Amino acid sequence: MAPSYGRGEAEVVLGEAFAGRLPAGVRVSTKCAVGNRAAREVLPLLERSLDESLARLKLDRVDLFFVHNQIVPDASTDQIPGTPHRLFVEAVRPAFEQLVARGRIGAWGITGIGVPTTIIATLNDDPAPAAVQVVANLLDSPGAMRRYDEPPRPREIIAAAYHRGIGVMGIRAVQAGALTDALDRQVPEDHPERRDYQRSAPFRVLARELGLASSADALKLVMTYYAADRLPVRTRLLLEELLDDRT
């Protein structure tokens, strides 16, 4: 969940659906966008956002509380919106640790779509987050969420998290619609999602060859068989054509 998902409506729906009594094994996360602000404002902001989210969710705590914006190099905040790494270290991370110690959240995490060098450094620092949200799609593409010059490097971010035992929450599995049958909105020809949709044409061919109703169904099937090394030769060639064109 996140306050910005439907301006709080997503949290309201979950709260109404479960009335504060989650089924066994269900875990809930929410987020707060910190941005760039004075260090003294960080803890009050996180607490206020958490209070409002918990009220909508009808819960006493959440299992995971994420920073809902990019963590960026200190010198780049004029060009890239987000939370400067120094502010994260000096104020955001200690605030999260306080919330964990007080039992208000189970653990905290970061959004791993910022400048990869900074994200990997954050994962390697202590205390480490419990989880990181990382782009996980066949194109290795964050699409329009990429606001930096470095290559996205999501697999390196996932590897860094794995090395430290940090949980990974995959996001943008179909790259904002680029890996589906058709984009559900009008975007300009030069828009990142439009370009990714054009690049993923082999994937739609693959879906048709597999006789599946949608690219989403093909995605699930292909990833299962690809991991097990059981793809037919023609299917593997189509998939490799797509993967080779990720850059």
User: 49 is in which domain, residue-wise?
Assistant: 9-173
Q: Is the pLDDT of residue 231 over 60?
A: no
Question: Domain end: 142, 173, 204, which one?
Answer: 173
- Same domain? For 153 and 54 the reply is yes
Q: How far lies 203's CA from each of 62, 98, 179, in Å?
A: 37, 46, 7
How many structural domains does the chain have? 2
pLDDT given at position 138: 82
User: Is residue 179 in a domain?
Assistant: no
Q: For residue 29, which phi and psi values (nearest 5 degrees)?
A: -125, 150
pLDDT classification of 95: cutoffs 50, 70, 90: very high
- Same domain? For 145 and 40 the reply is yes
pLDDT classification of 89: cutoffs 50, 70, 90: very high
User: Is residue 178 in a domain?
Assistant: no
Mean pLDDT over each residue of the chain, to the nearest integer: 88
* Residue 183 DSSP class: -
User: Is residue 182 in a domain?
Assistant: no
User: Is residue 187 in a domain?
Assistant: no
pLDDT classification of 200: cutoffs 50, 70, 90: confident
pLDDT given at position 216: 62
pLDDT in tens, 3-33: 999 999 999 999 999 999 999 999 999 999 9
- Same domain? For 238 and 168 the reply is no
* Longest CA–CA separation in the chain, Å: 59
- Same domain? For 81 and 120 the reply is yes
**Rounded CA separation 37/84 (Å):** 9
Check residues 132 and 139 and name the one with the higher pLDDT. 132
Query: Who's near 45: CB < 8 A, 6+ residues apart?
Result: 32, 34, 37
Average pLDDT (160-187) is 91
pLDDT given at position 3: 96
pLDDT classification of 217: cutoffs 50, 70, 90: low
Please report, for the domain that includes residue 40, its CATH number. 3.20.20.100
Q: Is the pLDDT of residue 247 over 50?
A: no
- Same domain? For 32 and 131 the reply is yes
